């Protein structure tokens, strides 16, 4: 820490509490600081001293990272075509065991050290078969510290290698090779180098490696544990990335053992289909290719000096992509078999490529006009499900946790491959591909229009001052209150009803927006058609929170949205159309319970001579309720004027009646629109309001005899 200055005054006899310049110049320096004070951490000591530098943390996240370092070695064998199965077992004693049927870690003597290869790999940092030499073309990374770091952080590690003619093994404590006299990490231990354990015979053609390790609880936090669900998720993901590899996960820690197996021969195309959250607009499109690049790397020469040399690398690109009807972006990226959740140069190359290629292809196809703004990355990524994978030798990562690819050339190669292959799809003359390409280009164009419209709404339609309010549609009869929790927006159908509602409302907190007849069925229409529709655009504009993926619930201008239409079949249809608009483009309002339908009465009974305290008018909301009410009045000898009035529309009520029955919070009845299952609700909207007629007809025919008349909203 630097010196801290203290402001203040010193009296005539006072001295500051820090030494004078003369005192600081006096020869009182401690000369005992010498080379003996320097701490040299050799071998795996550095790992145990600063584990966070190698695995990120010493909690559950770091422990899971250790487990995956070992699993990835087996997966690398599968990438090299040498393994077909990886088994992971979580034991009740807190240890983890990983077995693969790959080539097995070499057990012969390493020339420079004279030690068995397996001991070198487990005890020396930056040692292994992934630093050149042709053993691996693509691996999970190049830090060379995986197995040795896990060994250093383990109270015990057992490694057994199956290679003909016999199985051989050795054990370690805290990274030191030796022999345990019993089971578990607490058994007596004698340090000893070399292969100290010999097992049964191994037939020719069979090989593999079994590693079991007990994490050192003096290093990891008390609550650090292997998480089964996380292991399952990543095992499934890896099985997609390496087609044909079977991964088995066993958990023996609980009362009931658990086991799951994963194998996916379809690769990343199957993975993209698994991840997709919506209905498909396109089939899975594969964008594949490879290119070479030159990388300067430091290499040891014959004299032991590090000299930079140019090495030619090959980078393979394989992308599976599809677009769906939704707005969500699902993008997963991998380098060899390592997930890169924070992206990297390969992802930036992919995003740059698809944005540029879509702009060029959409202008060529005249989906974008000359004067239209270019689409941006967010427009193209709307509704996309993509799996981006690259394979290369010795990838560079930003940090040992390997969450971000740092190889600079990956950006250029991925951009080049994706641009070329995507352009082939977007400009294809094949009938199916041409139709799908047109659909996805129109979807991207619609996303751009929605984004621009939403931006305009956000900039101009938030009610913060009188100027912004004046930009709202002229037909809006706004309220005076600014509290968007208390205010209500009534969407009113019909001019006559609007006239009555004006007089019936409380203008302090109730706003009115009239619509003419039945609005557009947005389930069948495109986003562009929806935005062109005056009524739909006005509703989105007045609500003030945008639409689609740009919708912001906090930006809404009203606390409640209330549909107010006639109590007949036409009114019910209008309410359905409004509900479709809100569920498709402003679903958060529905999920948050802020969308309602008003319940106006269908009949008015006028009592002839009401007694004191008796209402002069009685309202009913269905024909059945009317009959029950009339029977009740007759039984009580109460007379009423004939005929009973039946409202054909809201406009037939006077302001007092409308206020009392439909608008006054003290007396009215509202029905809230709720969604318990969003996916199921979306399916119902598509069935009842979508373009496909046959399923709707079948639904109506099958359900005709199951209709509950009491539940009808009319």
Over the stretch 667-691, which tens digit does the pLDDT of each residue have? 888 999 888 765 666 667 777 777 6
pLDDT at residue 26 is higher than 80: no
Q: Which of 507, 468, 488 is nearest to 556 (CA)?
A: 488
Pick from 26-30, 368-372, 535-539, 650-654: least confident:
26-30
> Stretch 365-385: mean pLDDT, rounded?
92
288 CB contacts (<8 Å, ≥6 apart)?
317, 318, 319, 417, 421
Question: Model confidence at 713, in pLDDT bands (50, 70, 90)?
Answer: low
Q: Which alpha helices (H) appear in 636-692, and where do they start and end?
A: 655-658, 678-689
Q: Cα–Cα distance between 477 and 502 in angstroms, integer?
A: 8
> Stretch 410-439: mean pLDDT, rounded?
95
320: its two tokens: 């599976």
Read off φ and ψ for residue 55, nearest 5 degrees: -120, 5
| pLDDT tens, residue by residue, 149-176 | 999 999 999 999 999 899 999 999 999 9
> Stretch 425-442: mean pLDDT, rounded?
94
Q: Cα–Cα distance between 659 and 646 in angstroms, integer?
A: 18
Question: Model confidence at 17, in pLDDT bands (50, 70, 90)?
Answer: very low
| pLDDT at residue 538 in the model | 87
Q: Where are the beta strands (DSSP E) in 266-305?
A: 285-300
> Stretch 343-365: mean pLDDT, rounded?
95
pLDDT at residue 711 is higher than 60: no
> Stretch 292-310: mean pLDDT, rounded?
78
| pLDDT tens, residue by residue, 219-236 | 999 999 999 999 999 999
Q: How far is CA 546 from the centre of its chain?
A: 22
> pTM of the entire structure?
0.57
| pLDDT at residue 268 in the model | 95
DSSP 8-state symbol, 40: P
| pLDDT at residue 4 in the model | 38
Q: Which residue has the tokens 């496909």?
A: 692
| pLDDT tens, residue by residue, 27-46 | 444 455 444 444 444 567 88
pLDDT at residue 16 is higher than 50: no
Read off φ and ψ for residue 293, nearest 5 degrees: -150, 160
> Stretch 400-423: mean pLDDT, rounded?
91
49: its two tokens: 């001293």
pLDDT at residue 505 is higher than 80: yes
| pLDDT at residue 128 in the model | 55
Q: Mean pLDDT in the chain?
A: 84
Q: Cα–Cα distance between 8 and 630 in angstroms, integer?
A: 93
Q: Which of 507, 510, 667 is nearest to 600 (CA)?
A: 667
CATH of the domain spanning 46-265, picked from 3.40.50.720, 3.30.565.10, 3.40.47.10, 3.90.870.10:
3.30.565.10
pLDDT at residue 200 is higher than 80: yes
713: its two tokens: 């909203």
Q: Beta partners for 580?
A: none
User: Which one of 117-126, 346-355, 585-594, 651-660 scores highest in mean pLDDT?
Assistant: 346-355
55 contacts 62 by C-beta, under 8 angstroms: yes
DSSP 8-state symbol, 682: H
| pLDDT at residue 188 in the model | 95
| pLDDT at residue 289 in the model | 95
Domain boundaries, the chain: 46-265, 268-293+313-448, 461-600+673-682
> Stretch 579-604: mean pLDDT, rounded?
91
| pLDDT at residue 132 in the model | 45
**Burial call 477-495: b when 16+ CB within 10 Å, e when fewer:** bbbebeebeebbbbbbbbe
Question: Model confidence at 411, in pLDDT bands (50, 70, 90)?
Answer: very high
CATH numeric code, 461-600+673-682 = 3.40.50.670
- DSSP-derived 3-state class of residue 350: helix
Instruction: Name the region of 334 (left: φ>0; alpha: ψ -120 to 50; beta: rest).
Output: beta
Q: Which alpha helices (H) appear in 514-648, and where do they start and end?
A: 527-532, 534-543, 569-585, 587-591, 623-635
pLDDT at residue 209 is higher than 90: yes
588 CB contacts (<8 Å, ≥6 apart)?
551, 553
581 contacts 631 by C-beta, under 8 angstroms: no
Question: Model confidence at 321, in pLDDT bands (50, 70, 90)?
Answer: very high
Cis amide prior to 40 (ω within 30 degrees): no
DSSP 8-state symbol, 659: I
The CATH fold of domain 268-293+313-448: Ribosomal Protein S5; domain 2 (3.30.230)
| pLDDT at residue 530 in the model | 82
| pLDDT at residue 11 in the model | 41
663: its two tokens: 């608008």
324 contacts 281 by C-beta, under 8 angstroms: yes
User: Which one of 318-322, 552-556, 667-671 scores highest in mean pLDDT?
Assistant: 318-322
| pLDDT at residue 310 in the model | 86
| pLDDT at residue 38 in the model | 40
| pLDDT at residue 682 in the model | 65
- DSSP-derived 3-state class of residue 376: coil
> Stretch 7-12: mean pLDDT, rounded?
38
> Which strand ranges, in their side-by-side order, compose the sheet holding 338-339?
285-300, 306-323, 384-391, 330-335, 338-339
pLDDT at residue 131 is higher than 70: no
Q: Cα–Cα distance between 263 and 625 in angstroms, integer?
A: 61
| pLDDT at residue 63 in the model | 94
């Amino acid at each position: 820490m630097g010196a801290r200055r203290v402001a203040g005054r010193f009296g005539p006899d006072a001295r500051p509490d820090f030494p004078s310049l003369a005192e600081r110049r006096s020869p009182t320096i401690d000369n005992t600081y010498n080379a003996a004070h320097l701490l040299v951490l050799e071998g795996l000591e550095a790992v145990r001293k600063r584990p966070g530098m190698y695995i990120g943390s010493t909690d559950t996240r770091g422990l899971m990272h250790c487990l995956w370092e070992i699993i990835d070695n087996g997966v690398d064998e599968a990438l090299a075509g040498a393994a077909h199965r990886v088994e992971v077992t979580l034991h009740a004693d807190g240890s983890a065991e990983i077995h693969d049927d790959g080539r097995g870690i070499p057990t012969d003597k390493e020339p420079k050290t004279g030690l068995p290869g397996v001991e070198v790999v487990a005890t020396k940092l930056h040692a292994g078969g992934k630093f050149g030499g042709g053993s691996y073309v693509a691996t999970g990374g190049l830090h060379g510290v995986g197995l040795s770091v896990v060994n250093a952080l383990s109270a015990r590690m057992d490694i057994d290698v199956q290679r003909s003619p016999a199985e051989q093994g050795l054990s370690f404590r805290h990274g030191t090779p030796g022999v345990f006299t019993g089971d578990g990490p607490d058994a007596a231990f004698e340090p000893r180098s070399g292969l100290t354990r010999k097992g049964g015979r191994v037939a020719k053609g069979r090989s593999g490696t079994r590693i079991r390790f007990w994490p050192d609880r003096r290093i990891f936090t008390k609550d650090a544990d292997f998480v089964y669900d996380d292991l399952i998720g990543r095992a499934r993901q890896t099985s997609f990335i390496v087609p044909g590899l079977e991964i088995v996960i066993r958990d023996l820690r609980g009362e009931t053992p658990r086991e799951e197996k994963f194998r996916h021969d379809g690769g990343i195309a199957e993975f993209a289909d698994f991840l997709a959250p919506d209905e498909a607009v396109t089939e899975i499109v594969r964008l594949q290719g490879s290119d070479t690049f030159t990388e300067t790397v430091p290499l040891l020469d014959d004299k032991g000096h590090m000299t930079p040399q140019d090495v030619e690398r090959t980078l393979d690109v394989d992308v599976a992509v599809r677009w769906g009807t939704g707005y969500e972006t699902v993008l997963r990226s991998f380098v060899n078999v390592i997930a890169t959740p924070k992206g990297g140069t390969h992802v930036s190359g992919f995003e740059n490529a698809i944005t540029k290629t879509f702009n060029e292809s959409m202008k060529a196809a005249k989906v974008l006009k000359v004067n239209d703004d270019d689409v941006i990355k967010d427009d193209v990524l709307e509704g996309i499900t993509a799996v981006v994978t690259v394979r290369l030798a010795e990838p560079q990562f930003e940090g040992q946790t390997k969450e971000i690819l740092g190889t600079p050339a990956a950006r250029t190669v991925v951009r080049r491959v994706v641009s070329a292959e995507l352009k082939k799809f977007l400009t294809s003359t094949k009938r199916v591909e041409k139709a799908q390409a047109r659909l996805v280009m129109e979807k991207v164009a619609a996303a751009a229009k929605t984004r621009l419209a939403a931006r305009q709404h956000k900039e101009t339609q938030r009610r913060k001052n009188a100027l912004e309010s004046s930009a709202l549609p002229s037909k809006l009869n706004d309220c005076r209150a600014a509290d968007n929790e208390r205010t209500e927006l009534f969407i009113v159908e019909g001019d006559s009803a609007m006239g009555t509602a004006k007089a019936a409302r409380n203008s302090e907190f109730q706003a009115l927006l009239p619509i003419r007849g039945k609005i557009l069925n947005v389930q069948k229409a495109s986003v562009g058609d929806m935005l062109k529709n005056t009524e739909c655009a006005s509703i989105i504009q007045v609500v003030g929170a945008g639409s689609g993926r740009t919708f912001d619930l906090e930006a809404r201008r009203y606390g409640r949205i209330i549909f107010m239409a006639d109590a007949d079949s036409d009114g019910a249809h209008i309410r359905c159309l409004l509900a479709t608009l809100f569920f498709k483009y402003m679903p958060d309002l529905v999920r948050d319970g802020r969308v309602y339908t008003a319940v106006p009465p269908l009949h008015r009974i006028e009592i002839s001579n009401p007694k004191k305290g008796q209402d002069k008018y009685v309202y009913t909301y269905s024909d059945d309720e009317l009959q029950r009410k009339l029977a009740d009045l007759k039984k009580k000898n109460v007379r009423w004027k004939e005929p009973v009035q039946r409202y054909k529309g809201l406009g037939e009520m006077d302001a007092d009646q409308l206020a009392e029955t439909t608008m006054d919070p003290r007396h009215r009845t509202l029905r809230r629109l709720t969604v318990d299952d969003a996916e199921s609700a979306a399916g119902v909207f598509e069935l009842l309001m979508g373009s496909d007629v046959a399923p709707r007809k079948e639904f109506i025919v099958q359900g005709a005899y199951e209709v509950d008349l009491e539940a009808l909203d009319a």
